[in-house]
Each structure stands twice: as C-alpha cells, then as structure tokens.
Structure 1
C-alpha cells in the first residue's frame, strides 16, 4: 500500500498529525546533529543571499554522493528557520509506508506543477534539481556538470508566480567515487541499453565506479556549498513569456555553472579538501 503524503496537494501545507509528529522528531534530530556538522566543517557560503521571508526556489545540482539533498535544506533551515520543500521524482510518491511518509516529514513532495504552485502560493522555500536522476550517475568526464537536457519547468513556474530563484551549487559529492567508464564507451552503451529495457530511460545508465582503492567505499571529501544571489524572475513588459522563461532558465544554468567553477577553484587550494584531520584548523573558510 502506498502513501498519499507526498502526492496530495491538499495536505502539503497542513499534513496529517502523524506527519507533523515525524517532522518535529526529524527537526529535533537535525538540531542535535549541529555539533557533528560543525565538526565536519562543510564549506558554506552565500547564506546572506537567502531571502528571509522564505519565498524562493532553490535550484541545485545533483551529485553521486546525494549529500545535497540533506545539506541544502539543513543549512537553509538553520539560517532562516524555514522548512525547505524538495521536489522529488514521481516514483518516490509510490513508495510503500513508511518511506513516503518519512520523506514527507522532511518536507519532500512529488515534483508536479500543481504541487509546486501550491507551495508557491503559500510562500514556501522549494528545492529542485532540474537534472533529476540522470545527473546522479556520472560517467568519466561528467563530474561537476549539469545534465538538464532542455528542462525548463522550474523557470516557467517561477515566472508564472514571480518567484525568485536562488542557485545552490555543491562541489565534492562527485568525487567520493571515480568513474571508470565513459558514456560513449562499450560499457556505457551496454548500460544505456539495459536501462532502456528495464525502465525505458537510457539516460539513467550506470557507470563502473570505485571508491577507496578498488572498493565501493566512498572516499572522504569535504563538501563546498554556495548560494548565489537571487535571480528576479518578474517578466518585464513587452517581452514574450516563452522568451522570458528561456532567458531565466539560461541565466540560472550559467550562474550555477559559474558558481561550480568558483567552488572548484576554492577546493583546489584547500588543504582540508579530503578531510585530512591534520588540516582541520587550516580548512579554507568563506571570506
């Protein structure tokens, strides 16, 4: 039996009692984890760019580690006190109890236009990854890049609702594993064919990976997160809406790519980039 906790628009703002109780428990656990997060010392910059009223759309990049799904909402709530609402793949809404309810407790909802519009109507901070699942599995040479494949739904909804966009770039998650194969190589083609047969999505192919040595144990990596200044999506008079949507999409993508490059440069000079305990006190910090 599946749960409607992530799919029912009517319960997005006012969830059932058990979801509210799970949410309070999750927030208590997150608050208790603050000393551990501080000890780990992720590099976090641009918190001053977060609108204090919580009315904004975070647009981020997926990584192989998946840590962005935790770190971005955690830092936003810690800074401005608002629960971030991640938009997830429709498949997560079909997961059995209690998985879907647990994800709903953390604020997640299925990424449908009607859900996003309802959240925007209530001025909720929303998190979206336009690359979706295809951006998680990185083949050789694809690390720290965006794979949006022309997606512009987030820009269209932002323009329709005059919702500011805050690009949120994360570096480090793609370096916990090394990709051994290229997408256009033999394994890449075989993997794409298998993915298409099993799920109809060849862009969800999996590369061959290794972590520490020849194992799949992830390599320790510091995470670098930066929130860029908000992008105003209000359409100027006299401009076609579709053209403006494309402009907002392109500006968001360029800003995110530029911010990723900036973080790569910062990481290259950071002695703590691989979480070497001896370099903890010399870890690069935001200016």
Structure 2
C-alpha cells in the first residue's frame, strides 16, 4: 500500500459499555449475529422479547448518507498513526479496487468482536482514495444499538442487513461484508488461517443485482490480538441461553485487561499483533461465469482464492503477535 500521507494515521475504537446488569447480556446477545448480509431479526424459535430483540429495536432505519466525510478526514490522521504504531498495519493491493465504480468487498473475519482488521482496512482505504470516496462496513446490527455508538454511522458503519448493502451500493459506495461472520471471528486462534464463507451465496446475488465486481480482501493478524478459545456453542446450550436469550454461542477468550472474557461482554484491549491485509484482483461475475452463473460456484471460487492468499500470508508469518 502506498505510504500514508504524514497527516494520516487510525484511532482505535473504544468498546461501548452496556448499562448496568445488561452489559454482559448485551455482549452475549451479540453472538447471535449472523453477520454479513442476514437480516437482523431475533430467532424465530424465541417467542418472548429477548435482550437481543430489545437491542435490535433500537436500530434506526439505514441511511448511507449519514456517513460524514469531514468527520472521517478529521479522525484519519491520528487513527492511522495509532494503527500503524500499535498494529504495524500493512495494507497491500488497494490498486485492485476499481476507482470508477462501487464494489462489493468480501473479507475474512478475525479478531473477535473488536475486528481490528476492519479498522485497519477502512483507514487505509480512506488514506488511499481520500475520505470523500464512501466506504461502508457492515457490522452486526446490535453494534448500532449500543448507547453512544451512533458516531460509527457517521464513519461509515452500517448494520449487517441486505437492504443496507443494496442502498449503499446504489448510492455509489463501496461496501465491505464478512460472509464468514462470527464463525470466523470467534474461531480458536490456532485455527485462524482458514477462510469459511459458508453457504452465503446471497453475497454473489447482491453483486449481480447491483452489477458490481466482487473484490476479495484477505486479512491476517486479528486472531492474535487475544487468545480466542472457541465459540462456546456447547456452553450456550448447557446454560440454556439459546432458549432464554436466543444466544447460540458464548465465545470464550483470554484478553487484557479482564483475563477470561465470556462473550466479549466487556470488550478487550487488543494485543499489538501485526495486521496485514491483502486486496486481490476483482472478480467480474458475469464476465467470468456468464449471465446466469452458478452462485455456489462463484462463492467457492472467491473462497478458494482467498484461502490461497491467506495460506501464503500465514507461511510468511514467523511468530504470533510479532508477525
């Protein structure tokens, strides 16, 4: 990636705390997330209004125009400086992103709920293309409901919802989605060098509907910002959280400053692991796969391309955290 201008460098975002006793529940409820493009709705099997459902009710209607390029310009210098120092951030291949059209960026998820790789990429994107070029990063809808985080929308964060992605693409924005969602985000740290896009063919459908290319974005290093022990599906079932709160998983991690962190309810301070992000050449779905492509075949191709690059990045990595 071209070196950022002297005035440019990232602020790390500080996790918002819930209010009172709801904080751990709100954090746990976040693991319900079927991130990327699934509509944010409480599981059908949960008849009562769960904590997750109450938080989702706080989410305001999506408006991509809320992004404020002037605010992005203001926070970019200090934020990129901090990310460069703390994460030794390195983003390569931004020249692969077409300049004259919106694109659908498809990334692999790592780093738990903090997703430091998303922060690094968004800052590098703004530094390379300028704050005026809109980028929207889709996150789980609960993040938009937390008190005090409304400013994230002004920085380009949108709830992970298909309508949000469509509206952003129609407005001319580039959109970053994570089809792997929390399957990848909360995978154990020692199994992080694997891309898992699941069966999320809706990503391909979205690119076809918007007539935009898919640009794969591969990141490594986020899983080393804490020791992620696993998603904790069995623990959630044993505690009956799936029935009580609609929570399918209860991720466990060892992270500063709390030690054992359940559900990342309190957030954590990421370790200064080196984060590297590689942008790959765009995939023009219709040009490469025809006018009526097999969506599963397209998704498999994107996933295989990303996995090949992630494997190469992992081979070049010498030591955890050090990179």
Matched, 1:84 2:131: no
User: Contact between 2:104 and 2:213, CA under 8 Å: does it hold in 1?
Assistant: yes
User: Contact between 1:224 and 1:267, CA under 8 Å: does it hold in 2?
Assistant: no
Instruction: State the distance in 2 between where 1:142 and 1:199 align.
Output: 28
1:32 maps to which of 78, 85, 88: 78
Tell me which residue corresponds to 2:235: 190
Matched, 1:46 2:93: yes
| Unmatched tracts of structure 1, length 5 or more | 276-282
2:298 maps to which of 211, 230, 248: 248
Tell me which residue corresponds to 1:135: 184
2:278 maps to which of 221, 226, 230: 226
Instruction: State the distance in 2 between where 1:77 and 1:92 align.
Output: 22
Q: CA deviation at 1:179?
A: 4.0
Instruction: State the distance in 2 between where 1:236 and 1:219 align.
Output: 41
| Unmatched tracts of structure 2, length 5 or more | 1-53, 262-268
Q: CA deviation at 1:70?
A: 0.7
Q: CA deviation at 1:69?
A: 2.1
Deviations 1:94-115 (A, max 9, x none): 344x32x212111112222222
Q: CA deviation at 1:66?
A: 1.3
Instruction: State the distance in 1 between where 2:56 and 2:233 align.
Output: 35
Q: CA deviation at 1:215?
A: 7.2
2:109 maps to which of 58, 62, 65: 62
For these two proteins, the number of residue pairs brought into alignment is 256
Q: CA deviation at 1:25?
A: 3.0
User: Contact between 1:12 and 1:119, CA under 8 Å: does it hold in 2?
Assistant: yes
Instruction: State the distance in 1 between where 2:251 and 2:57 align.
Output: 30
The alignment's TM-score, normalised by the length of structure 2, stands at: 0.67
Q: CA deviation at 1:60?
A: 0.9
Higher RCO, 1 vs 2 (CA within 8 Å, ≥6 residues apart): 2
Q: CA deviation at 1:161?
A: 1.8
User: Contact between 2:189 and 2:224, CA under 8 Å: does it hold in 1?
Assistant: no
Q: CA deviation at 1:210?
A: 5.6
Secondary structure in 2 aligned to 1:163? coil
Tell me which residue corresponds to 2:29: none
Q: CA deviation at 1:235?
A: 5.9
Tell me which residue corresponds to 2:18: none
Q: Name which one, 1 or 2, has greater alpha-carbon Rg.
A: 1
1:174 maps to which of 223, 240, 259: 223
